[in-house]
Structure 1
Amino acid sequence: MPRDDRLRPSDLAREHGLSAQAVRNYEDDGILPPAPRGDHGYRHYTPVHAQALRAFLALRPGFGHQGAAAILRAANAGDEEAVFRLVDQGHAEILRDRGTLDEVAAALGVLVSESDPPGRGAPTVGALAHQLGLHPATLRTWERAGILHAERDPVTGYRRYPAAAVRDAHLARQLRRGGYPLRQIARAVARVRAAGGVGPLEEALTAWRSGLRRRGRAMLDGTAELAAYLRLRGL
């Protein structure tokens, strides 16, 4: 190895504000390729290692720590197909998130108003479940979680859902599709209910969309550094 190409852990660390130990840990975790050792056991890094670290840190905001680490390990193993598969999985995940966001945003446009439509009463648990494509037991679970507030028919004692509850059920269904836990959905619905409308949810969707844009940009930046690393490795 030419002496001019030798880099110490501190040299790599300084560029990113890391500790030298963090750089060594990344090598031990397989994120950096193995570094040759000198006569006294000291690690000698090269510009290839420096670019591997740049690629990992650039990939991490878009693909997450585990995803970025898996991509670098595949690159270090020379498995080009695995690298591309992992990158594709990250893009598929953000595309799925965008689809969920669009579904929730679309649901806001079709939510029922606060007053019941003329000529229609509040639906029963079975009717609402059918409308949403869910099992009635799911709606009862949502009630126990505080997501839905049902009324009781004074004559039959059956559950009836007023327009506001139907709105909440539509929102809950979309958020569940997005993978949100019931506790978080209950908080979101409570905010909408307390505010008397869907404004808070619209604000949350705006923040969510901004987050996806930032993540998409980070993916572009990360894959650019990854491409530079792959070229250095001859992949």
Structure 2
Amino acid sequence: MTREDRSPLRTADVARESGYSVQQVRDLERLGVLPPARRAANGYRAYTAAHVRALRAYRGLASAAGPVDARRLLATTFDAAQGDAAEPGARLADAAAAIGAVHVRLARERDEALRAREALRAIQAEAATPDADADPAADPSPGRADDTMTITELAAALGVRTSTLRFWEQEGLAVPDRVTTLRARQYGTGAIQEARIVAALRSSGYGIPAVRDVVATLRQVGGAAEGAVRAEQILDRRLDQIAARTVALLRAGADLAAVLDEVWQQEGG
């Protein structure tokens, strides 16, 4: 630790260096995002460069995992760093594992988005490729019996529950072409393609309102290929967001490691 790191900082100094307001610095200290500041002889808080790094770490963690998870992770970490429940090495391992879990979550979100994009591209390719085995003289209506699926068959094909398909139907998504008097649902080609797009977006973490917008676009343009293009654009933006969150997490990790080292050194770790 350099002499500059040990130099006391006022609340206003920390606010200026971190980009937060004075009140935000105080609020975040109260929430445990910062290690407690020592009091100077005059009673004022005496911060150090470690507190600035902690705020930078919080900013990155909040961007990567959300402010609630970021506050919980930092508060738990600083509590452990100042406690006697574990050896410093074990506490460091716990903190590293918590950061690693966020990395794993982001990697999983990216994999889900990539799989969803792959599924959407397959839908586009199918829509653009004529069925070589189809009989040109046959009725092209999507309501033909050999083109339909029951709710059980569609749920199995998508890997979701039938209750999920019913929920989507209630929300105006993947609506069956026909519901019999016995409430048996039959999905035609168009409804099946809609359901595949809905499943791809939902598996990547998109909420019902965003998915509803994509399905509305699909119906306006009248084709699954165009709807899939719109959905793919949404997923591309999500992948960009995940990349930005991952970079923010990498920056936060470096700041967090530095501040934890200082906290534990002060505590005699």
> Could you tell me the TM-score, scaled by structure 1's length?
0.83
Q: Matched residue pairs, number?
A: 233
Task: Give the distance between the partners of 2:70 and 2:191, measured in 1 at CA.
Answer: 42
Which one of the candidate residues 113, 124, 127 is aligned to 1:113? 127
SS at 1:41 equivalent: coil
Report sequence identity in percent: 31
Residues 116 and 203 in structure 2, CA contact (< 8 A), matched pair in contact too? no
CA distance in 1, matches of 2:25, 2:43: 16
2:120/2:200 contact within 8 Å kept: no
Where does residue 45 of structure 2 map in the other structure? 43
Give the letter for the 1:218 counterpart: A
* 8 Å Cα contact 1:9/1:23 also seen in 2: yes
**CA RMSD between the two structures:** 3.0
Q: Secondary structure at the match of 1:118?
A: coil
Shift of 1:27: 1.6
State the partner residue of 2:66.
64
SS in 1 for 2:134: coil
Change (3 A) 1:27 1:108: same
CA separation in 2, counterparts of 1:9 and 1:105? Answer: 47
Distance in 2 between the 1:128 and 1:6 partners?
Answer: 65
Contact residue 188 and residue 201 of structure 1 kept, 8 A: yes
- CA–CA distance in 2 between the matches of 1:34 and 1:136? 52
Q: Give the Cα–Cα distance (whole angstroms) in 2 for the partners of residues 153 and 76 of structure 1.
A: 58
Aligned residue number for residue 148 of structure 1 = 174
The residue aligned with 1:219 is 249
Amino acid at match of 2:247: R
5 Å-filtered alignment, 1:98-137, equals 98-111=110-123, 112-113=126-127, 118=134, 120-137=146-163
**Contact 1:70-1:86 at 8 Å conserved across structures:** no
Distance 1:108 1:213 in 2: 21
* Structure-2-length-normalised TM-score: 0.74
Cα distance in structure 1, aligned partners of 2:35 and 2:156: 56
- Pairwise CA distance, 1:135: 4.1
Gaps of 5+ in 1: none
Q: Which runs of 5+ in 2 are unaligned?
A: 82-90, 136-145
